[in-house]
Amino acid sequence: MYLEHWNLKEKPFDNTPDRRFLYPSENHRATLQKLLYALRGERGCAMLSGEYGCGKTVLVRTVIGGLNPDSTEIALINYPVFDRNSFLQDVLHQFGFATTATDARPELFRGLSQHFYDNINRGRRNVLIIDEAQIMDDPEVFEELRLMLNMQLEDRFLVSILLVGQPELREKIMLYPQLDQQIGVKCHLHRFDHVDTGHYIEHRLKVAGSASKIFTEEALYLVHKLSNGVPRRINNVADLCLLEGWKRSSKEVDGEIFKHIV
C-alpha cells in the first residue's frame, strides 16, 4: 500500500522470522556466536531466553541457517506439551522415524540412542531444538532431556539440545539442578535501548530497499518510548507510522505523524 510512496521494495516491518531482517545488535551478535559455538562444538545443552517479541524465533532461524546441513541433522519441536512417551515419540518423528502409540518408553529411547550413534559414526551431528520450552511441565520430560545429555562418547555428546523460551524458562530449569548443570551456554535477549531501536528501524528499512532516512530522530525516540524497545512492538508502531505518513503524503516520519497513530 505505501511501498511506492517510501520507495521500498517490500514491507520492512512484518512480524515474520525472515533472517534477512535480523538486526545484529551487540546482544544478538554475542548470543548468535555462543549458540553456534554450543551446537557446532557439541557442548551438550544451550538455553536461549527472552520475553515475547524480542526476536528469539528469527535468531533460532539464523542459528539453524548457520549449521551445515550436510553434517547436521536437526529436529525442531515448536509446541512441547507432552508426557514422557509422547515427547520421545515426537523427537523420533522429527528425526524421521515412525512410532506407534503402543511403543514402550525403553524401546523409544533405544531407537533414539541408536539413531544418534549412527549419525555420529557417519560424521553427522544431532541437534534437537525445543521452542516455547517454558510450557513444558512434566518432570519426566525434563528427566528425558537429562538422560539424552548423558548419552556421550569419550570426547563428545551424542546430541546437542537448544532450549528456547520466555524468561520463566530459566526459573523452571533451576528446579531440575542435574539438568541445569548440563546447560553449558545460557543466553538472554534483551529489549533494545533508544540507540539500538533507531538502528533496528534503519536496518530493516535498508533491507526493504530504502536509500534515504525516513524516520526523524524525534520519531525514533517516540517509537522506542511507545514500544519499550521490544522488536515486535517496534514493528507494529513503525508500520503504522509508514501507513500514516503515506496517507498524509509526508516526505518523512516525524513527531507530528507519530501523534496520529497513538
CATH code of 242's domain: 1.10.8.60
Q: 136 and 99, same structural domain?
A: yes
Looking at 189, 206, 221, the residue that finishes a domain is 189
- Strand order across the beta sheet in which 160-165 lies: 72-77, 125-130, 160-165, 45-50, 183-189
Q: Which amino acid is at 79?
A: Y
Q: Exposed, middle or buried by CB within 10 Å (0-12, 13-18, 19+), for 166?
A: middle
Estimate the crossing angle of helix 231-247 against helix 194-207, to 10 degrees.
Answer: 60
Q: 205 and 111, same structural domain?
A: no
Looking at 189, 212, 230, the residue that finishes a domain is 189
Q: 172 and 215, same structural domain?
A: no
Q: If you average pLDDT over residues 5-26, what whole number do you get?
A: 96
Domain containing 197: what range?
3-21+192-259
Q: 82 and 182, same structural domain?
A: yes
Q: 155 and 36, same structural domain?
A: yes
pLDDT at 21: 96
pLDDT at 1: 80
pLDDT at 145: 95
Q: Give the separation between CA 145 and CA 173, rounded to whole angstroms.
A: 11
pLDDT tens, position by position, 162-183: 999 999 999 999 999 999 999 9
pTM: 0.93
pLDDT at 4: 95
Q: 76 and 153, same structural domain?
A: yes
Q: 201 and 149, same structural domain?
A: no
Q: How many Cβ atoms are within 10 Å of 206's Cβ, its own excluded?
A: 12
- Mean model confidence pLDDT for the chain: 94
Q: 185 and 212, same structural domain?
A: no
Q: 17 and 146, same structural domain?
A: no
C-alpha cell recorded at residue 22: 535480523
Q: pLDDT over 70 for what percent of the chain?
A: 100
The tally of domains found in the chain comes to: 2
Q: 172 and 211, same structural domain?
A: no
Looking at 159, 189, 219, the residue that finishes a domain is 189
Q: Give the separation between CA 214 and CA 252, rounded to whole angstroms.
A: 5
Q: 97 and 227, same structural domain?
A: no
- Note the Cα 258 to chain centre separation in Å: 30
Of 32-46, 61-75, 215-229, which range is least confident? 32-46
CATH code of 94's domain: 3.40.50.300
pLDDT tens, position by position, 53-67: 999 999 999 999 999
C-alpha cell recorded at residue 116: 544418534
Q: Is residue 42 pLDDT above 80, yes or no?
A: no
Estimate the crossing angle of helix 105-121 against helix 139-150, to 10 degrees.
Answer: 30
Q: 204 and 87, same structural domain?
A: no
73 closest CA partner among 122, 125, 118 = 125
Terminus-to-terminus CA distance in the chain, angstroms? Answer: 20
pLDDT tens, position by position, 112-126: 999 999 999 999 999
Confidence of residue 102 (pLDDT cuts 50, 70, 90): confident
